[in-house]
Amino acid sequence: MQSIPNAHDYVDTQRYPIGVNGAARDALVAQLRDELDTVGCAVLKGFVPAARLHELVAECDRVAVHSHRNFSRTNAYFTQDRPEYPASHPLRRFYDRSNAFVPADNFGAESILRSIYEWPVFAPFIQAALGEARFYRYADPLADVIVNLTESGDGFPWHFDTNNYTVTLAIQNAESGGDFQYSPHLRTPSEENYAGVEAVLDGDRKLIRTLHLQPGDLQIFKGRYSLHRVTALSGPRVRYVAIFSFVEEPGMVGSPERTRQLYGRVLPVHWERAGLRSDALID
């Protein structure tokens, strides 16, 4: 029987005193909030020390067999084609997507990743960095803690996230490629800004930022409002990234359509709570 991991053992709390109120934590939160406000993204380098990364890689290796692989063509919103719009409209721009997600119900009490996500000091720290008054762990039983796997030739085309705030932990990189690219603050809760989205899809480099995250780096990202993608990668080594999700409203889950696309199945709760959103965006 596996022991229950202690998240404190897997986080560099000397460098990042996220659970200790005081000047050091306040300064860290202020720095992250400034980065999030200006560019929509903040990175904590080496959040998980290099000496513990092999344990996270081993956890990902164990559950990789449960990943749902999907090969499809999607637009940035994971919606169906809208023929009433012109061909250049973002809703009609479809791209090949091929990667895999390990659903959250594969990460139980023995999971290191779940121990970090459910660590009592973790969510309040992320909330403070985001400066949000309302902040909840994602209620989706397939999507609160997941791992994304990408292999040679794979990538994740331009898209917006369903949930407002996404926190990712880089665990293992491919030999090359797999950069994170994003266009910050491209839309708002009330404005899709299709013109801006179209400009990014057309390759306007002025609107795109690129990050090459290293294993152990924690990223806080407002992915519902910033268009983003992972570039194609190469080499035999799988790229592992854990995703911790948070939202503004309690009880939120993914839409049935998008849940089936990403995880290959839908649970009753996805139908029961379909349409429960905190905004009126497409997805």
- Which pLDDT value is given to residue 70? 81
pLDDT of residue 276: 63
Query: What is the rounded average pLDDT of the residues 226-231?
Result: 94
What pLDDT, on the 0 to 100 scale, is given for residue 5?
A: 94
Average pLDDT over every residue of 211-228: 94
Per-residue pLDDT, averaged over 111-133, amounts to 96
pTM: 0.88
Distance of CA 163 to the CA centre of its chain: 9
Query: Is the pLDDT assigned to residue 56 strictly greater than 80?
Result: yes
For residue 281, pLDDT over 80 is answered with no
Domain 11-272 has CATH 3.30.230.10: no
pLDDT at 34: 96
pLDDT: is 162 or 207 the higher one? Answer: 207
Predicted confidence at residue 96, as pLDDT, reads 87
Residues 260 and 266: beta-carbon distance below 8 Å:
yes
- Say what the pLDDT of residue 254 is: 87
C-alpha 141: how far from its chain's center?
16
pLDDT, tens only, 32-52: 999 999 998 999 999 999 999
DSSP the chain: -PPPP-GGGGS-TTT--TTS-SHHHHHHHHHHHHHHHHHSEEEETTSS-GGGHHHHHHHHHHHGGGPEEEEEEE-TT-----TTS-TTSGGG--EEEEEEEE-GGG--TT-HHHHHHT-TTHHHHHHHHHT-SS-EE---TTTSEEEEEE-TT-BEEEE--SSSEEEEEEEE--SEE--EEEETT--BTTB--HHHHHHHHTT-GGG-EEE---TT-EEEE-TTTSEEEE--EESSSPEEEEEEEEESSTT----HHHHHHHHS---HHHHHTTT--SS----
The rounded mean pLDDT for the chain is 92
Residues 221 and 95: their CA atoms lie apart, in Å, by 23
What are the pLDDT digits (tens) for 140-180? Answer: 999 999 999 988 887 789 999 877 778 999 999 999 999 99
Q: Show me where the domains of the chain are located.
A: 11-272
> How high is the pLDDT of residue 283?
57
The CA-based diameter of the chain, rounded to the nearest angstrom, is 58
